Chain A
Amino acid sequence: MSRNHNHDGDGVSRRKVLECMTWAGTGVLWTLAGGVPQSLGIVGSAQAAEASASALTFLQISDSHVGFDKAANPHALATLEEAIGKIKTLPVKPSFMIHTGDITHLSKASEFDDAERIISQSRLDVHYVPGEHDFIDEEVRLYRERYGRGTKGAGWYSFDANGVHFIGLVNVVDLKAGGLGNLGAEQLAWLADDLTGRSNSQPIVVFAHIPLWSVYPTWGWGTDDGARALDLLKGFGSVTVLNGHIHQVMQKVEGNVTFHTARSTAFPQPAPGAAPSPGPMKVADDRLRSLLGTASIIFKPGEERLAIIDTPLQG
């Protein structure tokens, strides 16, 4: 059991046992989600079963890399369209979607336009954070023009939904030589302020492009000052950190914090250290769609752990 309980007495109370059982149940769902590719039908019915008045289901989509046309997937726009097509057929409409960055491959206006044209077909509100690929136009203005309204600094912001506090962070700006992802002092100060006065029983969902935890620093998969952000979240009973960037599902639970990364809809990347570099991984055509996909996240009031279900495009 990876969760830290505050055991005051020597024995484990009935309540604790029940809590553990709840967690075990969630964990099973989660293991299913992470380990076994599921058909959309199963996910759909799971969602239908979970749906209740006060529950919240939202989607995570990531790393669309619109404009990517290399060997690992010459049709990145088409696989994005497949993902959105599947979202459109979900039996229970999610409340909204978050996009954890790398919307485009090269920050071209045409790529942003194509992404918008496809993603808007979901008819869902989409809350974006940028990836490093969204800030490489000459004047670094296209992402901000489209998605920066109402945000602070390089594009960070927060909002509330069904009692859950959502925080979108930017860790792809002002990166330092030899370093990893970077939040910066200004954003951390904003985060501290944003959390001030909040009840520590309010569930928190933090989303950003590069993992906030140290996944594999050798490949740059981590955030230099991510630990400082997590320090600010220490007092909260339920914290879920959702990231992209590494184009594969990875998850970790540390105390009250659940870390999770989503698949890309464009191309897979190798497991940490499994290849000479983190570059796009070419797989057999009939395997590609089993390595691409989206995630749905279900919050039920009274349950600390949010359920995360990763759904591949196929398989």
Chain B
Amino acid sequence: MSLNLRTSAIRLAAAAALAMQMSAAHCEEASVTIDNFTFEPAQLTVKAGTTVTWTNRDDIPHTVVSAGQFRSKALDTDDKYSFTFTRAGDYKYFCSLHPHMVGMIKVE
């Protein structure tokens, strides 16, 4: 292997490592499941930049709605909805079809 090629390979590896680090810092992921008309966990604490994905496991459609913040369309069984939280704060949300279903994402 020539010196040039080896240098390229090292650079490439370094770039890949950097990219992975960046994704760790800015693209954390968390999930909430909807089961038995309940958001689980009902309260979730995440860091700013985290993408939260809701998955509906019920046989009935649900929505994920936070007034003025985000609003999913109706999620049928196994449908998912994701939202990336960029700013700290308490985000209360509910299902607009079954409003007794409530949850909160705390973003730090």
Interface residues of A in 156-183 (CB under 8 A from B): 175-180
**How far is the CB of B38 from the nearest CB of chain A, in Å?**
7
Contact of A179 among B61, B63, B92, B100 (CB under 8 A): B100
Chain A interface residue number, banded:
20 to 34
The docked-state distance in angstroms from the alpha carbon of A179 to that of B95 is 10
Interface residues of B in 5-25 (CB under 8 A from A): none
Contact of A105 among B61, B67, B98 (CB under 8 A): B61
Tell whether, in the assembled complex, residue A220 and residue B59 are in contact, meaning their CB atoms are under 8 Å apart: no
Tell whether, in the assembled complex, residue B100 and residue A218 are in contact, meaning their CB atoms are under 8 Å apart: yes
Contacts of B87 in A (CB 8 A): none
> Which residue of chain B lies nearest to A70 when distances are taken between CB atoms in the complex?
B59
Query: Which applies to chain B's interface (DSSP): helix, strand, loop or mixed?
Result: loop
The docked-state distance in angstroms from the alpha carbon of A88 to that of B15 is 72
With known contacts A136-B61, A280-B59, A178–B102 Cβ distance under 8 A: yes
**How far is the CB of A115 from the nearest CB of chain B, in Å?**
17
The docked-state distance in angstroms from the alpha carbon of A138 to that of B63 is 12
Tell whether, in the assembled complex, residue B76 and residue A176 are in contact, meaning their CB atoms are under 8 Å apart: no
Q: B96 near A: Cβ within 8 Å?
A: yes
With known contacts A71-B59, A179-B99, A179-B100, A277–B74 Cβ distance under 8 A: no
Contacts of B37 in A (CB 8 A): 219, 277-279
> Which residue of chain B lies nearest to A68 when distances are taken between CB atoms in the complex?
B59
Q: A304 near B: Cβ within 8 Å?
A: no
Tell whether, in the assembled complex, residue A279 and residue B36 are in contact, meaning their CB atoms are under 8 Å apart: yes
B-side residues, CB < 8 A to A, are: 36-38, 58-61, 63, 65, 67, 73-74, 76-77, 92-94, 96-102
A-side residues, CB < 8 A to B, are: 70-72, 105-107, 132-133, 136, 138, 175-180, 217-220, 276-280
